[in-house]
Copies of this chain bind each other. A is one copy, B any other.
Amino acid sequence: MENFQYEVESWLDIPPDSGFSMYHFPYGICAREGGLPIACSAIGPFVIDLVRLYDEGFLDGTSVRRETLTGRYLNPLIASGKRVTNGLRARLQRLLSVSTGQEAREKLRNALVPATEVQMLLPVDIRDYTDFYSSREHATNVGTMFRDPDNALLPNWLHLPVGYHGRASSIVVSGTPVKRPHGQMIAQGAEAPHFGPSRLLDFELEMGFVIGKSSELGKPIPIEEAEDYIFGLALFNDWSARDIQKWEYVPLGPFLGKNFASTMAPWIVPLEALDPFRVEGPEQEPEVLPYLKSPGKKNYDIHLEVGIRPEGGEETTVCRSNFKYMYWSMAQQLAHHTVNGCNVNVGDLYASGTISGPTPDSYGSMLELSWRGTKPVQMADGTNRKFILDGDTVTLRGYAQSGHIRVGFGEAAGKILPAE
């Protein structure tokens, strides 16, 4: 089996700012017009047709089975295990490196499809979906706005990664338009709620991770093993209707304010592609309980941005944040989620919660950026935004960079359509 290299040149001309570099090789599902879905990876401006590579014999010896490449979802490939999926990534890197001969290069070119010629599909058949609330800055901002600035964090927040179950059926792939939801909400001072389109529609900048290995009911995943269960990461926009959410969420949590849609990037970034970007997380004080102790570099330095583009207009970047700010790591989230014996399945999705940083321009939602509507966000076209308007396209982007090593997350974009 090949090993992944960190000094390697390609025979392809890959722009240096491409997130789909020789040090990456994400996984996705795409389809040519009228074609069947296939598993793919990406390099520079191309998607890599993995079925074609398989059929040409380029994957011989990687233990990849063809039937794991031809389904609607990546789940069977993911379930093959990290040895297989990372072995395949190392093979892709070698095939695209200058060590590959001229004849093979010609054949390989046939498996490279301009990304503009395919449609990217939702990559995973998502089973259970959980959303955490793991950014201290976000929880503090929300607590300050809605409760008490002096006691912004609730008593449990520093002791456990607060999370709740979300809706899997309404998770859509980047590019899918999202209809402004109707719902119940209550006007300030009103005695009874009214029904109508949400007026406080928001995004939430999040990162999701996809489970790569199932666990057994009744068997917690020890924190030291948690990363073995994480296949990879994807950008995630947890659209939120703040007015619906506010009225409904006591005492059992967010429901219709969230489950009308969430937008996921089409590319899953394998956890191992992020090894060069590991960093330590924030210090945790008070000390966490033993089952949550996880010393070392369990956070990841990933630049994140959110842009809003009005209908027919120019995009404004409204947020620049970083995944490294998370107070609770993915390993801690997974260890906590399963400590009571809850089982996980390949294809489960676990999202971080809004990723806000320490500065006002790093807040990961309009609620925080506009501070509940009191500080409208200036847009490049001269308008401003308290929340998201009809026709706005919200796009999440992300990349990690360390020296010449760059790993991109693609984007998670969605345009808001008016309520019907």
Contacts and interface: CB of A to CB of B under 8 A. Distances in A.
Contact of A217 (B172, B220, B340): B172
Interface residues of A, number: 61
Among A186, A241, A248, A341, the most chain B Cβ lie within 10 Å of the Cβ of A341
Given A179-B341, A290-B195, A336-B256, A184 B159 contact: yes
Interface stretch (A24-32, A162-170, A385-393): A162-170
B339 A133 contact: no
A183 interface: yes
A49 to B, nearest CB: 29
A343 interface: yes
Nearest to A146: B251
A199 interface: no
Contacts of A160: 184, 193, 248
A261 B420 CA distance: 39
A259 B342 contact: yes
A236 to B, nearest CB: 16
Contacts of A162: 248, 251-252, 255
Copies of this chain assembled into the complex: 2
A165 B127 CA distance: 13
Given A156-B250, A252-B133, A254-B252, A342 B167 contact: yes
A337 B162 CA distance: 24
Among A127, A250, A251, A344, the most chain B Cβ lie within 10 Å of the Cβ of A251
A181 interface: yes
B348 A181 contact: no
B182 A344 contact: no
Contacts of A252: 133, 162-164, 249, 253-254
A156 B217 CA distance: 35
A218 interface: yes
Contacts of A339: 182-183, 256
A185 B253 CA distance: 19
Interface in A336-394: 336-337, 339-345, 348
18 contacts: A128-B167, A155-B186, A160-B248, A162-B251, A162-B252, A164-B164, A164-B252, A169-B344, A170-B343, A194-B289, A218-B260, A241-B340, A249-B251, A249-B253, A256-B336, A256-B337, A256-B340, A260-B340
